[in-house]
Structure 1
């Protein structure tokens, strides 16, 4: 790209601005112009060749072709470059004492079955057993009653069920459970293993080419929904996992570390507390009520 080509870039942006002005003050045109402007700045800095541009387009095309109902490669790409975490932190700030909100990740499924209190999530029985007891609390210590809790995890080999449709039963190590009136949820499962992000897709191949680590420490995912509280999506990590210091998706935080306690004979236990935040409308109502009582 020569100097004369660089000189034309502001004209391109000005022309786009004039065309989009007719759309009014909508956020989409503003966002589009901001993205285009930054792309033009990036092109001016990197000065890519035509072959390099085609390589980028081919990579993005491969990402799209690798995304389907079982695997979301676009989500994986957003995760590994830290975009997902950044957006989550900006949009879901958590007060001190609340369990941090994290990301559902690329292996989340919405269509999980309902299971009874204390159910076993393992449908194939493969792996060392893990008994989990979760206490759901609000910031004031009150029990969060009758919550719906979705759980999903990798198996003892570090593989999610939707990565292994031919090797694991449908919905293996997934389920939705109802908490009780005391804010408790219990279930049986198997101890998950840490894993590497998939290397067979364009995102994994890119990370390998860059020499970046793909490991994730072992963890359980939770999504908690309860009336009057903000939905909490988080995951709890095995404190003893050797990859705990270099999570490829930037999800590890001190508040999310827990002890997967060995009990002997291939059995383990996990006891944890998840702290939810009241929804804004409920929090405002409670605050107003306390002021009136005062």
Structure 2
């Protein structure tokens, strides 16, 4: 078969994959071709626009480095990351809502004792006393769960973005006790802008959207026999809850960060309950080293 019209090309390309032995690869690629071709036909994509799109894809790879993953960021800004997380963790009567891994998670953060601080000495900010309960679907506490926590500084930067912060600052791993509880200390995170110096920023400016994420803590829970839960908990008083540029906020991921007056000054107190589901313990690939 040879194409004679724009519309006649799509079935020819799909047919070329007929001998693909892996059924899932065949399904994904055939669907990708159909949707891409449909997009081109629907929008009547021009050659200049096509060239620009290819340059944009190349720029995503060129902008990815040791301190950020631009491909993850663009997927976040288009809502794809949140869509995949919701699709693959859709159990609204069981597991806690999953959320974005984000482009700044690092594997092998330091293991810390219960109640230890994520913040290196001298890290500025309102002190934060955090705690949580991890349970199974039946509400039974889960002991021995590894709780990986990371967050941005009050200035809105993760340590690998900020030369003034020591390595692995505001990152750490804890283990739940026999009651399924964990405790940690840190400084209260602030909302921050996603990086806009690369293709992600080009996308936001073209759409005339702001770049500010609501303040949040990142969590990753893991225990053999249970699905790894990647989630975030957002501050209930953040002004950007309803306009998160990465579409990561769901109702169940909004937590309370109450402020308590103490003799030495105000302290933010945080506590949250998390639910894990049985399944295979599979960790994500770190977006940065």
Residues in 2 aligned to 1:17 and 1:251: alpha-carbon distance in whole angstroms: 34
Residues in 2 aligned to 1:60 and 1:67: alpha-carbon distance in whole angstroms: 11
Q: Which residue does 2:211 correspond to in 1?
A: 214
Residues in 2 aligned to 1:212 and 1:239: alpha-carbon distance in whole angstroms: 22
Match of 1:152 among 150, 153, 165: 150
Task: Quickly say closer, same or farther: Cα 1:18–1:278, change in 2 above 3 A.
Answer: closer
**CA displacement at 1:81 relative to structure 2:** 0.9
Match of 1:227 among 212, 224, 237: 224
Query: Per-residue CA shift, 1:104-135, capped at 9, x if unaligned?
Result: 11111113121222111011422111010111
Q: Is the 8 A contact 1:117 1:178 kept in 2?
A: yes
Residues in 2 aligned to 1:30 and 1:227: alpha-carbon distance in whole angstroms: 31
Q: CA RMSD in A?
A: 2.1
Q: Is the 8 A contact 1:94 1:101 kept in 2?
A: no
Residues in 1 aligned to 2:279 and 2:24: alpha-carbon distance in whole angstroms: 26
TM-score, length-normalised on structure 1?
A: 0.87
**CA displacement at 1:213 relative to structure 2:** 2.2
- SS of aligned partner of 1:236: strand
Q: Is the 8 A contact 2:94 2:276 kept in 1?
A: no
TM-score, length-normalised on structure 2?
A: 0.89
Q: 1:127 and 2:125 equivalent?
A: yes
Task: Quickly say closer, same or farther: Cα 1:157–1:31, change in 2 above 3 A.
Answer: same
Residues in 1 aligned to 2:173 and 2:138: alpha-carbon distance in whole angstroms: 26
Q: 1:12 and 2:9 equivalent?
A: yes
Task: Quickly say closer, same or farther: Cα 1:121–1:36, change in 2 above 3 A.
Answer: same
Q: Which residue does 1:273 correspond to in 2?
A: 273
Deviates further, 233-242 or 98-107: 98-107
Q: 1:98 and 2:79 equivalent?
A: no
The residue correspondences of 1:156-195 to structure 2 (distance < 5 A) are 156-164=154-162, 166-195=163-192
Task: Quickly say closer, same or farther: Cα 1:140–1:30, change in 2 above 3 A.
Answer: closer
Task: Quickly say closer, same or farther: Cα 1:147–1:206, change in 2 above 3 A.
Answer: same
Q: 1:67 and 2:64 equivalent?
A: yes
Q: Is the 8 A contact 2:134 2:275 kept in 1?
A: yes
Gaps of 5+ in 2: 281-289
Which structure shows the higher helix fraction? 1
The residue correspondences of 1:7-86 to structure 2 (distance < 5 A) are 7-24=4-21, 26-86=23-83
Residues in 1 aligned to 2:196 and 2:92: alpha-carbon distance in whole angstroms: 37
Q: 1:200 and 2:197 equivalent?
A: yes
Q: Which residue does 2:136 correspond to in 1?
A: 138
Q: 1:89 and 2:106 equivalent?
A: no
Residues in 1 aligned to 2:14 and 2:75: alpha-carbon distance in whole angstroms: 28
- SS of aligned partner of 1:114: coil
Task: Quickly say closer, same or farther: Cα 1:278–1:24, change in 2 above 3 A.
Answer: closer
- SS of aligned partner of 1:245: helix
Q: Which residue does 2:236 correspond to in 1?
A: 239
Query: Per-residue CA shift, 1:39-78, capped at 9, x if unaligned?
Result: 2221112222222111111111111111133311111111
**CA displacement at 1:97 relative to structure 2:** 5.0
Q: Is the 8 A contact 2:214 2:241 kept in 1?
A: yes
Q: Is the 8 A contact 2:74 2:199 kept in 1?
A: no
Higher RCO (C-alpha 8 Å, min separation 6): 2
